[in-house]
Amino acid sequence: MKKTILRNSLFTLVCSALILSSNAHAEMANITVFGSSSPHFSKNYHSPAYQFGKILGQQKKTLIYNGSIYGLMGDVYQGATDAKTEIITISMPEVYDEQCPQNHPCRQNNTLLADTVQECQRRLYENADMIVILPGGVETLDEVTGYIIAVGTGEQEKKPVVFLNINHYWDNLRYQLDEMKRQKELGDEDMDFISFTDKPRNVLSEATKLQKQIEKNESATSKKKITLPTEKGTLTIHY
């Protein structure tokens, strides 16, 4: 595969072109994955992450991620690589150099570099058809809550978000979200794109169910919203 490394002015155009050309006409073909790049997770976390990477390849999906060869993200990368699927890295120069060493095969992935964390996250969100959350730390929480907030403000399109709940890692977060819903801090429309599963093989089917629910809910409210342009993209107002 020919390596492409791009920054700044050509970023949006080429990123879209790479993804569209590799998966034209495919349903939910582009999967952004967030998770830990730390080597400290127990051994029983690594196999499910690797299995999920292999499933992406077997299903002819494109993996979009931060480019790391370490931790759970490295496991997903290796599984996808072994299954010979398309991989796109979206990262920042300093993170890329740290997480993907010189002369490693990861340098052969199509790679798109952003200057800021915010720009990097935005591109990871925008170029996904669905988002998968592996176990991770506060950075992973920032990435997923940043997306949820962006959906709520209308800055990002609503897409399926599936937590791969390896070893019940995300159970406490799930309970917290349920409690927020019970206390009316979250409504049904705030949760209709989020799901949890502990099995790698169920992630894509969960995303398909979420997508159908999203489309159903959007159809029901399509006459009660307006979308306005903003400096950062668009703002959707429901009324």
Q: What is the pLDDT of residues 116-143, one digit of tens each?
A: 999 999 999 999 999 999 999 999 999 9
| Beta strands 225-230; 233-238: pairing state | antiparallel
| H or E element that contains 122 | helix 117-126
Among all chains, which residue has been given the structure tokens 């107002």?
237
The domain containing residue 207 runs over which residues?
5-238
3-state SS, residue 157 = coil
Q: What is the mean pLDDT of the chain?
A: 88
CA 219/CA 138 separation, integer angstroms: 35
**DSSP state, 38?**
-
pTM: predicted TM-score of the whole model, two decimal places: 0.84
Q: Specify which residues 136 forms β-bridges with.
A: none
Say if CB 169 and CB 185 are below 8 A apart. Answer: no
Which CATH number fits the domain that encloses residue 15? 3.40.50.450
Say if CB 30 and CB 21 are below 8 A apart. Answer: no
- Residues of the chain predicted below pLDDT 70: 1-26, 221-226, 232, 236-239
**Dihedral of the alpha carbons of 19, 92, 148, 210, in degrees to the nearest 10:** 30
Say if CB 32 and CB 66 are below 8 A apart. Answer: no
**Dihedral of the alpha carbons of 41, 123, 91, 107, in degrees to the nearest 10:** 100
Domains held by the chain: number: 1
